[in-house]
Structure 1
Amino acid sequence: MRHARNNELTDRRSAAADAKAALLTEYRAAKTAAKPLQAARQAERISLVEAREARRAERERLKHEERTRIETLAAQEQAAIEAAAVAEIEARQLAENARISRVVQDEAARKAERDRRYAARKARQA
């Protein structure tokens, strides 16, 4: 009986080993059969990654162009503001010079009128 039980154990062990070998054979066959499909999936994944990288690079390029455009516009606006400030300062200076010139001319005309009156008075007295 003891021997029969060992036979049963041996039978079970050999059946388990056979089942394991069959599973391993099936796995290897499935792996071999799936190689083209796996390669296709891998190629698809690579193309998706490349497309994603291309889109990211395009987004970065667009962001850089937009940033450059904004910086250029800001520089142009700053230059326009500075030019307007310089023009305003020059206009104020011209207005000040014109006012001073008018004051000097008015003063000269007043002096000339005073001198004419003085000369007329002297002429009447003489």
Structure 2
Amino acid sequence: MAGYKEPGFQDRQKAAMEARAKALEKLKAKPPVDPEVLAERAAKAAEREKAQAEKRAAAKAEKEAKAAAEREAAEQARLAEEAAKPKERTAEELKAARDARYAARKARKK
């Protein structure tokens, strides 16, 4: 019984050349693409690109609207916080309040 004989370099080179020739024959046998089919494919690709562009624009607009709403909410929160703080009084108002308390104490002592 004969054992397995590993193919040599020449055998591998010949097999590769035959495979290339077979692939080339198969490619040559393929009919050319019809121009109508090419035009249809181009139209579909353009439609797909247009739909994707519209989708991106809608997503961008939604994102901008969400950011604007967040900014508006933050501004409203800041205004509410500012309104909740007691108003800072001027030096004259503080002096007048102190003088009124002093006068009230003096009036109680008499």
Deviation at 1:51, TM superposition (A): 0.2
1:94 aligns with 2:86: no
Q: How does 1:66-85 map to 2 (within 5 A)?
A: 66-78=73-85, 81-82=86-87
Report the 3-state secondary structure (helix = DSSP H, G, I; strand = E; otherwise coil) of the residue aligned with 1:25: coil
- For 1:97, the aligned partner's letter is A
The 1:32–1:43 alpha-carbon spacing in structure 2 relative to 1, beyond 3 Å, is: same
Instruction: Choose from 62, 74, 77 the match for 2:69.
Output: 62
- TM-score (ref. length: structure 1): 0.53
Query: How many percent identity over aligned positions?
Result: 13
1:49 aligns with 2:56: yes
Residue 40 of structure 1: aligned partner: 47
The 1:32–1:22 alpha-carbon spacing in structure 2 relative to 1, beyond 3 Å, is: farther
Deviation at 1:25, TM superposition (A): 2.9
Deviations, residues 19-53 of structure 1 (Å, cap 9, x unaligned)? 21344834987544311111100100000000000
d(CA) in 1 for partners of 2:31, 2:101:
101
- The answer for unaligned runs of 5 or more in structure 1 is 1-8, 107-126
Instruction: Choose from 21, 26, 30 the match for 2:28.
Output: 21
The root-mean-square deviation of aligned C-alpha atoms, in Å, is 3.6
d(CA) in 2 for partners of 1:48, 1:76:
42
**Which structure has the greater CA radius of gyration?**
1
Higher helix share: 1
Residue 118 of structure 1: aligned partner: none
d(CA) in 1 for partners of 2:31, 2:105:
107
Deviation at 1:72, TM superposition (A): 1.2
- TM-score (ref. length: structure 2): 0.59
d(CA) in 2 for partners of 1:63, 1:41:
33
d(CA) in 2 for partners of 1:23, 1:52:
43
The 1:23–1:58 alpha-carbon spacing in structure 2 relative to 1, beyond 3 Å, is: farther
